[in-house]
Amino acid sequence: MESLVNWYQSTLGGFLPKEVFCFLVSMLPVIELRGGLIAASLLQIPLLKANIICILGNMLPIPFILLFIRRIFAWLREHHLLTGFVNWLERRAMRKSKGVEKGEFWFLLFFTGIPLPGTGGWTGSIIASLLELDIKKAIIAVFLGILLAAILMDIISYGLLAGIVS
């Protein structure tokens, strides 16, 4: 993440505000809020401001994923574009969703909120969409998961743990 921040500072830093950069980083799949908050910390954006920016950035794509990802996947398959990648992504999402049927809300919340590789709002939303979960319930679960991830990442990226322990 440090190299991404260094790249930003040397290329875009002169005309793109650091807050906009963190917002955009938080929208990216895989990186999401976790990377956005680390970048915000490295760029010395105050904690509350960073959380608002990164949560909004991470949430922006979620309704679109929930509403359109199955149609996008179908279109890609129909036109033989990225078919292997789409199949891999669906298999991966479904593999991660084993046992979700009984506690889908809590699964999505914790799946989105625990900052581990392959988890987060994007994957949680893809799982919710592929399982055809209720969109309102899915948005709330993913949003609460993103809030949980923000709290955990605040502890990591802003060093709040050191303040609590000492």
- When pLDDT is averaged across residues 2-26 and rounded to a whole number, the result is 92
- When pLDDT is averaged across residues 97-115 and rounded to a whole number, the result is 85
d(CA 79, CA 148): 38
Strand, helix or coil at 76? helix
Percent over 70 (pLDDT), the chain: 93
Q: State the pLDDT at residue 166.
A: 47
Q: Residue 140 — pLDDT band, cuts 50, 70, 90? A: very high
Q: Which residues contact 105 (CB under 8 A, 6 or more apart)?
A: 137, 140, 141
Q: Which residues contact 122 (CB under 8 A, 6 or more apart)?
A: 29, 30, 32, 61, 62, 65
Residue 161 pLDDT more than 60?
Answer: no
How does pLDDT run across 45-94, given as a tens digit for each residue? 999 999 999 999 999 999 999 999 999 999 999 998 889 988 988 888 77
